[in-house]
Structure 1
């Protein structure tokens, strides 16, 4: 006859603490203790006596469950994004500043800078106004960005 789970849990509590200690878990110990306790309960339900000792089976079940939770917590914490709230400050560009920055661009690249960056038009609008394809406007953009980046380095 099997002992009640409370007795088994009390007997294996030191093993649970050992698992938590060997995995260097210092925060949320209660969470991991609970997870190991659930794993111990599941181990009592799924244990087959002809396959070996219960203690080694319980240890591997508890350790595996705690490790899985630890991996999930690490993954979750690494995917959390820290957001920094910066006040939006409008960028004021004078015509002289714009002219200095785009003086080395071709006329078509200048069209892209003025219409897209300054006036906020979409690529398809620019293409329609200039009677060209959207891919042509994208090519103007690509080359304009290259040139502007090159100028910014100096």
Structure 2
């Protein structure tokens, strides 16, 4: 952002004026953080950060433009962190995969069991879902699963057996 724009920024200005002045700053921050997808979404997050900074600004505590910059960057980093955490916890399971896993565990196909199985699968850790998908859907053996996930073969077998036992118990509890 240019010095000229920094001098224009003041908490006494209207929010619209400030938001207009910081658009180049927002673009620079998005590029620094290598955000090229969902650009509009993160630009919106940045605008909210500007709004909050404008509301909380205290001229006695330092330069307003620096406060806006750190607010924008902080909000975007928080959002990226939340998204990463969400992606680590969630594995999307499509209907075809659910049907296959259901047939492996039960052999039955009714709507109630499908919903129950889906809710049970979402309770598994990501690594547990990966093991199930690799074994039952992709057809990997225990050695291949161990290699892909960085586990020993014994650990891979043990985990798969525990997951199968847990799922079997939960599926039969639902009935």
Within-5 A mapping of 1:33-112? 33-83=43-93, 84-85=97-98, 86=100, 88=103
Q: In 2, distance between residues paired with 1:72 and 1:16?
A: 20
Q: In 1, distance between residues paired with 2:76 and 2:65?
A: 16
Any idea what SS the aligned residue of 2:92 has?
Answer: coil
Any idea what SS the aligned residue of 2:22 has?
Answer: helix
Q: Which has the larger radius of gyration?
A: 1
Cross-structure match for 1:14:
24
Q: In 2, distance between residues paired with 1:66 and 1:22?
A: 11
TM-score w.r.t. length of structure 2? 0.48
- Aligned residues: CA RMSD: 2.3
Unaligned segments of structure 2, at least 5 residues: 1-10, 106-175
Unaligned segments of structure 1, at least 5 residues: 91-154
> How big is the shift at 1:82?
3.5
TM-score w.r.t. length of structure 1? 0.54
> How big is the shift at 1:8?
0.6
Q: In 1, distance between residues paired with 2:104 and 2:74?
A: 51
Any idea what SS the aligned residue of 1:82 has?
Answer: coil
